[in-house]
Amino acid sequence: MIARVLESIKDFFQTLPLWTKTVTWIALFIQLMSFTGFPTSYLALSWKNVFHKFLFFEVYTYVFLHVSLLHIIFNFASLLPLMAKFEKEHGTFACIFITMVPYTLFPALVHLVAYRFMFLKESISIAGFSGWAFAFISATCVHNPEGPFQNYIQKKYIPLIYLLITTIFVPYASFIGHASGAAAGYATPYIFEHIPLKRWAEKVDSIGNRFKNYQPYDELAYASLPIAEPGTGNPNFPGKGTRLGT
């Protein structure tokens, strides 16, 4: 039984597209470094580190850092299936762009501004993939509003229910990080509609196609942005979520 489960997990990771697999290995490497005692806390995002210590790289590194093994497992479970599906359907370049620009920078900006000017807590930090998970869940639900509970609640509101549940029941979960990630996910169709994605992707694909598991741009896929196929079930529970610490 255990061997069968491990084999299924191995097969799943082997079939991941290029960018999804890359971010998975980056997060696992950072987690391994933290287990060995290597200081990784400076990768988390906080106003104090960015503007007092000038650690500007934190606006990108925070998503790859997780505070515990359980944290990273829950985030992998909620993120990787949706992210892999998106990359396979819409291309590696589109996946890189959507994750590293709106899905990363928007939650980072909201967190910095909120904790500096609203809560006056410059040292509170944010970390984890769950902002991405909420973004992909929201984008999926907006695009595919039909579901088994549609007679009771519209599917596009399900991420908000998850947001409420994680805020109440998950210790140190970042409401701001999750909410801003969900907002970025809801905005995904608008974002792709207002950028020259095809032109950008065609320039990158000529190089990216040299790499194994790189997914080229598919113009037909963009007739139905953002990601889901009809009949797709409800997305996975987002898990531990983005975590906060001092």
Looking at the annotation, which residues are catalytic?
Answer: 130, 178
Asked, as a colleague might, if the bond just before 226 is cis with ω within 30 of 0, I would say yes
The answer to whether 149 touches 220, Cβ cutoff 8 Å, is no
Q: Give whole-number Cα distances, 213 to 88, 198, 226, in Å.
A: 9, 20, 21
Instruction: Report the first-to-last Cα separation within the chain, whole angstroms.
Output: 41
